[in-house]
Amino acid sequence: MIRYIKDLALVEFIYKIYRLENEWERRYLLDMFFTPPIEYEPPVYRPPSEWRSLLIQLTIGCSNNKCTYCDMYRSKTYKVRPIQDIKADIAKCARAGMQPEKIFLCDGDALGAPMDILEETLDCIHEFFPEVRRIGVYATAENILEKTSEQLKTLAQKKLTMAYLGLESGDDKILHMVVKGNTAQDMIEASLKIKEQGFKLSTIAMLGIGGKKYSEQHIRATAEVLSQTNPEYFSFLTTFAIPGTPYHRMVERGLIEPLTSKELLIEMHDILEQSTFDLNKVIFRANHVSNAKPIGGILPQDKAQILETLKLWIKQTPAGVYPKMPASM
């Protein structure tokens, strides 16, 4: 399991476990980390906020798997796992004595699985873990829009109430360049649709994804999408050109010019400054391992303070310096 978890440094992850006050939860997470009762098809990923969740693989890989910047699932061919295998994994975890409060359904966009698979999986979870508080999933605009509002409402009633959406950028030219597979309008419609049916939405945008050439339109368009959708949770990741990806080849060929550390901070500052958060409160975090400095707060109430901190960091950051890609990415 150790080699599958790449979104947190190993030492930091174990340290977080040992700081937990609940002895049972410490033991459960250590067992899950070192000796999980089920076998996973690696690599396995989950959002940083799901670090205390039981991971169940509903699908293998990503149904799009074309995003130029991403290497997460390129070694996998997308498929929906047989329902009997999914149920067997859930039963094994129950027999191992697990009592998770949260469960995360892997892989890349498990919300794209057929409704019968999703419903049977959720029913099985409730049979073995009736006290589960929340179930989460990665989602795409496409697989949100292809489900009816009634279907999404049914899933939310079965406690699938957290969806993680990779917005990346609000600019259509950038989305097309990175082969995201949808438009900004798709993102807006999908975000509002899934929120209306009882889900909480966690949206991720990528700093620097458009390079220097498209930075200004990335800022402007991403702020517009955020203003229209106000996800309950919002976070930034920093874009790195990962070797072996098409994005990396575009950088090598000079088609994309990466942003410096100062320019990345300017993008973060300007996106937040140009966004309005008046539909609901938004929990903001930029504490992913890809980001040089962690920052967060509640929007809009902490917006002014966050912007002032970013202005200070921008002033303190020398020009012409580029961020180093973390070893754990």
Render pLDDT for 256-296 as a digit per residue (tens, 0 to 9): 999 999 999 999 999 999 999 999 999 999 988 888 889 99
β strands within the chain, DSSP E: 54-57, 59-60, 79-80, 102-106, 134-139, 160-168, 200-207, 233-238, 282-285, 296-299
- Mean pLDDT value across residues 20-42: 70
Q: What are the tens digits of pLDDT across the range 3-14?
A: 333 444 445 555
Q: Which two tokens stand for residue 274?
A: 């140009």
CA torsion, points 212, 164, 112, 169, in degrees to nearest 10? -20
Which residues are bridge partners to 166 per DSSP? 204
Query: Is residue 103's pLDDT more than 80?
Result: yes
Are the C-beta atoms of 112 and 143 separated by less than 8 Å? yes
β-bridge pairing 200-207 and 233-238: parallel
With a CB cutoff of 8 Å and minimum separation 6, the contacts of 41 are 57, 60, 76
pLDDT band at 33 (very low <50, low <70, confident <90, very high): low
- The residue count of the chain comes to 329
Give the model's pLDDT for residue 289: 84
Q: Token pair of 262, please? A: 């100062």
What is the domain partition of the chain in residue ranges? 2-316
Residue range 308-317: mean pLDDT, rounded: 97
- How many other β-carbons are positioned within 10 Å of the β-carbon of residue 273? 15
- pLDDT for residue 22: 63
Q: How confident is the model at residue 318 (pLDDT cuts 50, 70, 90)?
A: very high
Residue 84: pLDDT over 60: yes
Query: What CATH superfamily classification does 2-316 receive?
Result: tm_1862 like domain (3.80.30.20)
* Beta-sheet pairing, 134-139 with 102-106: parallel
Classify residue 326 by its DSSP letter.
P
Identify the pLDDT of residue 5.
39
